[in-house]
Amino acid sequence: MNVDIVEELSRLVKIRSEVFVDERGSVIRFNYSEAAEAVANLAEKVELNVEVVDLEVDGNKVPAIIAGIPRPTAQDKPTIAFVSHYDVIPAKGPWIVAGRQIDPYEPTVVDGKVYGRGAADDKSAIVASIIALSELNFDKLKYYPQVVVTGDEEVGGLGVRALIDKGYRWDKVVILDAGADYLSIGASGVVFGWIKVRGKSGHAGYPHKTVNPVENAVKLANYIVSNYKPRRASKLSRFNAPPGSPLNKVWGRFNFTILKLSPGEPEKHNRIPSEVMLGFDMRLLPEEDLGVALEELYSHFSEATAALGVDAEISAWGQRGWYAKDECFIEEALEASRKAYESLGLQSNVYAAAELGGNDGTFFDSVGIPVVAFGAMRTDCNVHSENEFVYIQDLILLKEFVKYLAKGS
């Protein structure tokens, strides 16, 4: 069945399947069931076999979709999973695109691009991979391919983790949540968390009777940025960085991303609060040990609070990175990417590099499944920011990549 790839992507983008972690550490999800149903409907529409897996994460339902082409029982081929996710980070509109306001969940097509939250990360991969499988002939494949779509990728890969814990396995895995201009053979580990800075509240006109946690949070952040952040940046991976990176190798990173009052604190110009919160994001090298990285973070935090005399506590959680270990699979995927480019009349400059972000490859790697990653994103696609978009040409490119890899190039 012929379907319009842009139209199908637009249908998925309209679903506000947001997820985030609140200041209490709880995962807040929206419209997961609607998103999973839409994915299943698309797979059934193009006549794929569909399995809906009801995963449970911390007592909450996180459905997964597994879809594949009909498989003759007499034929046995190694399995390959093309993995993507339907959850997105929250978006606040309106966005300004081509001089006009748009809602992030009302997808807009302009100059060969589809704009909308999740258009690139990662609903592009869902649509491209499902349509790719519908165009394949089982008899001409090296692998038996399945599309695997989960939720909770944006909060630490909880969906994929639950799927693996249920016993699902494949011979090879491709994470379709990456760049289109390089083959990812690894991804950074991710740590994020909160620093709570405590003080003593009171009237801003009488600051001598208070302890100001806002000012102490600023001092603490400046200390960490001046001392710890350079330490992170000095760590270099043995793996290449993606195109357009300021360094040739993947490097360690630390950023403060949130500064806000703690829950229940009233926002008043004339009131010094009792507690504020700093949110942070830390990126590890693909080969870096998560436990060691956390110990270093906690050690520096203790050093900072002691040096400044600040009353604060830290909480952090995350996942380690991963890197590919199957050289033959890497070469297969590189060849598939080159052929996908050639099929569109484009010159291929694809090379192997590791990602600056993290993805679900960590969990497949942890159980010994060979992993690589490829996707429809580019550095200018504004992923996780305003005006997120995907190039329509890259939707087609990713679709062709999936087909070539499933066929064994």
pLDDT for 76 equals: 85
pLDDT digits (tens), the chain, 409 positions:
789 999 999 999 999 999 998 877 899 999 999 999 999 999 999 999 999 999 999 899 999 999 999 887 657 899 999 999 999 999 999 999 999 999 999 999 999 999 999 999 999 999 999 999 999 988 889 999 999 999 999 998 899 999 999 999 999 999 999 999 999 999 999 999 999 999 999 999 999 999 999 999 999 999 999 999 999 999 999 999 999 999 999 999 999 999 999 999 999 999 999 999 999 999 999 999 999 999 999 999 999 999 999 999 999 988 899 999 999 999 999 999 999 999 999 988 899 999 999 899 999 999 999 999 999 999 999 999 999 999 999 999 999 999 999 999 6
Return the SS3 of 357: coil
Residue 354: CB partners within 8 Å, gap ≥ 6?
Answer: 184, 185, 186, 187, 188, 237, 239, 240, 241, 242, 250, 286, 321, 323
pLDDT for 181 equals: 94
Q: Helices 123-134 and 32-45: crossing angle, nearest 10°?
A: 20
- Nearest CA to 153 out of 127, 178, 180 is that of 178
Measured CA to CA, the distance from residue 81 to residue 91 in angstroms comes to: 29
Cα torsion 9, 12, 18, 19 to 10°: value is -80
Enumerate the CATH 3.40.630.10 domain ranges in the chain, comma separated: 5-187+321-407
- Nearest CA to 281 out of 378, 194, 403 is that of 194
Architecture of domain 5-187+321-407: 3-Layer(aba) Sandwich (3.40)
Token pair for 388? 């997120």
Architecture of domain 190-319: 2-Layer Sandwich (3.30)
Enumerate the CATH 3.30.70.360 domain ranges in the chain, comma separated: 190-319
Task: Give the count of beta carbons closer than 10 Å to the beta carbon of residue 264.
Answer: 8
Partners of residue 193 on adjacent β-strands:
280, 316
pLDDT for 23 equals: 74
pLDDT for 409 equals: 66
- Nearest CA to 148 out of 302, 327, 303, 371 is that of 371
